[in-house]
């Protein structure tokens, strides 16, 4: 027996759960599937220990979906983004510039939360929506589309017809592959370590990117942990270097970590397990197929610089919700309008983040000196500095 819904969402990560809550809150009937049940506890095996910074433009779509109300009490505001160049002969901060949200807005740049907590609260929100059916443990096996609807066969054999299928099923998206949409991928030879640290110096709601070589070392504010100031760390380096670091004994790893952090927060202590993530840029050549929209990492993947990744995903979701009408849901004109709205911004941000990442990877001293001089010059021009902040946030 076939089921019928307005929207089927393939993928139950943070972006897919947000999409289910958004379409459900807008009154559409929704089924959301993911082959892996979400891990919703910090210490559980497989927990996603990365964090997400929601920038200002993401808050309205989260609020309309009933999500921001659940996560706001746990969110850590990000008032200042600090860029540090430590590319000199010794790993010490030689140029430091603060980008303060107060220069462009009365609100912080964004708010930071752990990904495992987002999954917990997003799943709870879906439980409040009677028109949303979340099915962890099931995935998308086959997709067949026609002008009037899509037919999705799930991994348990169930069949679902939907007016719109939303592919939020990751960088290896089964739905994208079923549609035959190719991707362009750029590999940097990098990986990232993600983990949490405690430190004696308070972070004062400052997100800090330290650039030397191999990629940025980024500390993002978190709530206190066991009575100590706490930050999430994303440490990007070459693949072999990340594997070397991960294999170190804890005391040796902490020594290397504190050298790389330039001592800006005092002695850092590892406060969570290490997780490793590959760093790529990836873009689908199209954002839609018949009765199907690609969003989030099914559509685009960026390195974790400037908090662009999930905020680009929520911009996708905002465009889909804005364009959705019961009478035209999933039609070609709606999907074409979605691609026209999102594609220019996606291309701009992928190019910008890719350029920043390559600049951060520089190993030759003369190139690192040029990078530092460029940062200082850009910061010194107030209109340029404010324009870059507005662009990074996504303000129009």
Per-residue pLDDT of the chain in tens (396 residues, 90 and over written 9): 689 999 999 999 999 999 999 999 999 999 999 999 888 887 778 777 778 889 888 999 999 999 999 999 999 898 888 889 888 888 888 888 888 887 777 888 889 998 899 999 999 999 999 999 999 999 999 999 999 999 999 999 999 999 999 999 999 999 999 999 999 999 999 999 999 999 999 998 899 999 988 889 999 998 888 899 999 999 999 999 999 999 999 999 999 999 999 999 999 999 988 999 899 999 999 999 999 999 999 999 999 887 788 899 999 999 999 999 999 999 999 999 999 999 999 998 898 888 888 888 877 777 777 776 776 666 565 665 565 545 555 555
Nearest one of 188, 173, 77, 109 to 388, comparing CA atoms: 109
Specify the pLDDT at position 99. Answer: 80
Specify the pLDDT at position 94. Answer: 86
| CA–CA distance, 294 with 196 (Å, rounded to integer) | 32
> Beta strands 159-167 and 292-294: pairing type?
parallel
Specify the pLDDT at position 392. Answer: 55
| CA–CA distance, 274 with 285 (Å, rounded to integer) | 33
CATH architecture label of 3-46+118-185+282-355:
3-Layer(bba) Sandwich (3.50)
> Cα dihedral sign for 49, 133, 178, 338?
negative
Domain parsing of the chain, residue ranges: 3-46+118-185+282-355, 73-112+187-279+361-393
Given the structure tokens 């983004």, which residue do they identify? 81
Q: Which CATH number fits domain 73-112+187-279+361-393: 3.30.9.10, 3.90.1010.10, 3.90.226.10, 3.30.1330.10?
A: 3.30.9.10
3-state secondary structure of 131: coil
Specify the pLDDT at position 396. Answer: 54
Given the structure tokens 């996606």, which residue do they identify? 346
Specify the pLDDT at position 334. Answer: 98
List Cα–Cα distances, 365 to 207, 239, 261, 262, 368, in angstroms.
26, 21, 19, 18, 5
Domains 3-46+118-185+282-355 and 73-112+187-279+361-393 share a fold: no
């Amino acid at each position: 027996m076939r089921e019928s819904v307005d929207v089927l969402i393939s993928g139950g990560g943070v972006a897919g759960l947000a999409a289910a809550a958004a379409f459900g809150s807008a009154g559409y009937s929704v089924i959301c599937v993911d082959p892996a049940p979400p891990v919703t506890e910090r210490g559980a095996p497989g927990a996603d220990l990365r964090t997400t910074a929601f920038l200002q433009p993401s808050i309205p779509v989260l609020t309309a979906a009933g999500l921001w109300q659940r996560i706001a009490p746990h969110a850590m505001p990000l008032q200042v983004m600090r860029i540090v160049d430590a590319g000199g002969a010794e790993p010490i901060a030689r140029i430091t510039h603060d980008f303060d949200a107060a220069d462009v807005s009365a609100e912080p740049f964004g708010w930071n939360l752990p990904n495992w907590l987002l999954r917990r609260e997003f799943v709870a929100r879906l439980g409040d929506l009677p028109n949303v059916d979340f099915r962890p443990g099931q995935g998308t096996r086959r997709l067949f589309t026609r002008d009037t609807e899509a037919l999705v066969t799930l991994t348990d054999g169930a069949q679902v017809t939907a007016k719109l299928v939303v592919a939020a099923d990751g960088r290896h998206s089964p739905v994208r592959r079923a549609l035959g949409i190719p991707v362009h991928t750029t590999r940097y030879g990098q990986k990232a370590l993600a983990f949490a640290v405690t430190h004696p110096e308070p972070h004062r709601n400052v997100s800090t990117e330290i650039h030397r070589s191999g990629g940025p070392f980024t500390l993002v504010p978190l709530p206190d942990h066991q009575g100590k100031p706490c930050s999430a760390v994303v440490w990007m380096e070459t693949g072999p270097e990340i594997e070397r670091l991960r294999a170190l004994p804890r005391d040796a790893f902490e020594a290397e970590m504190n050298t790389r952090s330039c001592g800006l927060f005092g002695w850092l202590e590892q406060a969570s397990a290490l997780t490793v993530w590959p760093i790529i840029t990836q873009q689908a050549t199209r954002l839609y197929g018949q009765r199907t929209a690609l969003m989030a990492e099914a559509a685009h993947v960026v390195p974790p610089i400037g908090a662009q990744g999930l905020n680009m995903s929520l911009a996708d979701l905002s465009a889909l919700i804005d364009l959705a009408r019961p009478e035209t849901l999933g039609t070609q004109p709606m999907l074409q309008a979605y691609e026209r709205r999102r594609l220019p911004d996606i291309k701009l941000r992928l190019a910008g983040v890719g350029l920043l990442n390559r600049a951060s990877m520089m190993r030759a001293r003369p190139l690192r000196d040029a990078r530092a001089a460029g940062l200082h010059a850009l910061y010194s021009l107030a209109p340029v500095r404010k324009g870059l902040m507005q662009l990074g946030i996504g303000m129009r």
